[in-house]
Amino acid sequence: MKKIIYALLTFILFSSFAYAQERDSLIQLYPGLRDTLDLFDRDYFELFQNIDGYEYAVFYIRNDEDLISKVTYYDDGLLRDTVFVQRVSALLGARSRIQEIEKENQSKLEMETEAIVILKDERIIKGRLRMFSKKYIYIISENENETGGHALDYLEVPLVKIDQIKILGSSKTWSYMAYGVAIGLLLFPINYLVGGWAYITAWILNPITDGIIGLIVGASSSRYEDVYIIETQPDILKIKDYAKYYFQYDESVEKNYVELE
């Protein structure tokens, strides 16, 4: 009996020692995302897409060897947790994937997306849509000042004030027509060599015809306006193809943009 008790005490002490040796360090999955990956960021960066009812996740490094992902989700109205244990190399893979998305996200600052923002109080703001965050959109609006000149207003517009956002697309009609004419000019020598002035080749391979084809294609593919209703926070993700997602704090942004009253 004493041997059994001794064995049990030894096992308990060994288990306690092993447990005490596990060191969990809370980490950021990616710079700017803080230590909690909420539903908004989950959807933007396309992580944990196979977990229904997802609420948030936190991440730990255990003993410098394992990545511990603790995911909280709703199941039949109850809040539950599940834990994933992976080698720490999985963290590098996740960060690499997020980095690729972030490169594309950063490039959207170069886009000149014209937009009309209609507020719930019926005010209208027209300008260049630059960025969005979980709480605001960032837009540069051009207004006429008292001297008759034009001034740029860098506005930080709260999502709770927004009713809808209209994305204004530029017509591609004339640019496509120009492409058609250019292609026709390039193919003109081929027309002469292959078919001479035969009716069919002359009709297909010449600047006038190709310009008309470009005109038709451009007119049919032009995008003039897309409208997005903003009712809840996740709705702002609908404009992610047109503007940068601002999730990493930037002091210059805070200084340059003024919150709309």
Tell me how many domains the chain contains.
3
User: Cα-flanking dihedrals φ and ψ of residue 65, to 5°?
Assistant: -125, -35
Q: What is the pLDDT of residues 179-213, one digit of tens each?
A: 555 665 665 566 555 555 454 455 555 556 655 66
Q: Domain span at residue 217?
A: 173-221
Is residue 4 a part of any domain in this protein?
Answer: no
Token match 């008790």: residue? 5
Residues 253 and 158 in one domain: yes
Cβ atoms within 10 A of the Cβ of 62, count?
14
Burial, 6: exposed, middle or buried (Cβ in 10 Å; 0-12, 13-18, 19+)? Answer: exposed
**Of the residues 53, 88, 107, which one is the last residue of a structural domain?**
107
Residue 5 CB contacts under 8 Å (≥ 6 apart), including other chains:
none
Alpha helices in 108-197 (DSSP H): 173-195
Q: 51 and 96, same structural domain?
A: yes
pLDDT of residue 18: 45
245 and 144 assigned to the same domain: yes
Closest to 134 in 3D by CA, of 164, 156, 155, 154? 156
Ramachandran angles phi, psi of 240, nearest 5°: -65, -20
Find the mean pLDDT for residues 237-247.
Answer: 96
Whether 136 is covered by a domain: the verdict is yes
